[in-house]
Amino acid sequence: MSSNQFIVASPPTDAISALKFSPDPNSARIVVSSWDKNVYLYDLRDENGSVGEGKLLQKFEHRAPVLDVCFGEDENVIYTAGLDWDVKKIDLNTSEQTVLSSHEAGVRNVVYSREHNIVISASWDSTLHIHRPDAGANPDSIATIVPLPSKPFSISLTDSRLVVAMASRALHIYDLKALALLSAEADSSVPGGNRVEVEPWQRRESSLRFMTRCVACMPDGAGYVSSSIEGRVAVEWFDPSPESQARKYAFKCHRQPAEDGVDVIYPVNALAFHPVFGTFATGGGDGGVSFWDGISKRRIRHYPKHDTSVSAVAFSGNGKYLAVAISPGFEDGKDDVAEGAVQIYVRELGETEAKGKGAK
C-alpha cells in the first residue's frame, strides 16, 4: 500500500471518544472529542489547500471528558456532549459556548438533524433530549425529554429516522418528524411538560447476542448496521416487510485467531458509512479497519492493524478521505496514556478504494 496516509499533528492527550468530518464536501475540517476534556478542531488542508497532516485550529476545554461531538447546521457550529452531563453548542467563529440542556448523567451521544433542525442527545440517565438550536433566541426554551427503557449506547440518524441502540440489546427506531413535532409542541411552561413519552416507530431487539457497541445508518436511509462487543456486525433494513427483514444478516470480524484455536474477540468500536458508495468501514479493538460492502456482503479492504484500539472512524463529506482515531483500549482502563498511543490517521482514498465490488 502506498503511503497516502497522514498522521494529524497535535493529537489529543487522552483517548479519543469521537471524530467527525465536516459535512461540507469541500471542507477538510474535523472535530475530535477526547477524554482529556477537550474538543479539537483541525483543518487538514494547509495554506495551499493540499491535504496533509493539517493543523489544530481550536481547542475547547470542557469540565469533564467529552464523549461525543457533531457538526451543526454548518461547519461553524458544533454540538458536544460529555461526562459533565451537559449538551453544548459551540460557535466556532466566536468560540461562544452555550449549554443547551443538562442531563442527569453523562451524555453519551449527540447528533444533529439538518432536515428537521434538531439536536438530539442521548444520556446514560436513559433519556433523549431533543433541542431546537434556533431557540437560542429564546432562552426559556428547554429541551424535550424522551425517556428510554435502557441506557443508550449509540445513536445514528438518517434524514427521517433515528436509531437508538441501548443496553439489554434494545433498539428503538424513531420517526424524526414525530420527534421534531413533539419537541415543537411540548409545553415547557408546565413543570414536567417537556417530558413526553414517545412511542417509537419500531422497537427491535438487537440481532447480535452481545452488547451493542455502535450503530450507523445507511446514507440512503434504507437501513442500518450495528456492531457488538463480540466482534460482530449486523446489517438490517428499516422496512418491516418480511422480504426486507429476510435480508438482514450478521458477520464476524475483528478477531484474532490464537494458537490454541480460541479466537481473541475484539469489540467493534466504530462504524462509518461512505457517503458516496454506501459501503461502510468498521474499526475494532484490534486496531484494524476494514471496508465492507453491505449489499453484496463482501469485504472490500482490510488495512494493517494499528498498535492500539480504533475508537472512531469517519469519512469526509466527499468520501475522499478516511479518518481513523486510535486510542488505548477503553477496555483496560490504564492510568497513563503512552506517547503516541492516541493518534488520528487520515487516509487519502483512491478512486475505487472504498467502492463496492458488486455482486459475486
Piece in contact with other proteins (CB under 8 A), picked from 155-163, 262-270, 317-325, 338-346 = 262-270
- Residues 313, 294, 205: CA angle, nearest 5 degrees: 85
d(CA 54, CA 46): 6
Phi, psi of 199 (to 5 degrees): -80, 120
**Helix (H, G, I), strand (E, B), or coil: what is residue 56?**
strand
CB 218 within 8 A of CB 227: no
Q: Bridge partners of 42?
A: 30, 56
d(CA 338, CA 121): 31
Q: Does 264 bind other proteins (CB under 8 A)?
A: yes
Piece in contact with other proteins (CB under 8 A), picked from 97-105, 110-118, 234-242, 289-297 = 97-105
The CB-of-64 to other proteins minimum distance in angstroms stands at 4
Q: Does 183 bind other proteins (CB under 8 A)?
A: no
Interacting residue with other proteins among 50, 257, 339, 360 (CB under 8 A): 257
Piece in contact with other proteins (CB under 8 A), picked from 77-85, 90-98, 215-223, 239-247 = 77-85
Torsion region of 98: left, alpha or beta (phi above 0 gives left; psi -120 to 50 gives alpha): beta
* Positive or negative torsion for Cα 213, 149, 169, 203: negative
- Residues 120, 102, 125: CA angle, nearest 5 degrees: 75
Q: Does 338 bind other proteins (CB under 8 A)?
A: no
The label of the residue with cell 484490534 reads 286
Q: Does 76 bind other proteins (CB under 8 A)?
A: no
Q: Does 209 bind other proteins (CB under 8 A)?
A: yes
| Binding flags for other proteins, 267-306, as an x/- string (CB under 8 A) | x-----------------x----------------x-xx-
Interacting residue with other proteins among 266, 292, 321, 345 (CB under 8 A): 266
By CB under 8 A, name the binding residues for other proteins: 1-4, 15, 17, 35, 63-65, 67, 83-85, 99, 101-102, 104-106, 108, 124-125, 142, 145, 151, 153, 167-168, 191-192, 209-211, 213, 229-231, 255, 257-267, 285, 302, 304-305, 329-331, 333, 335, 350, 352-353
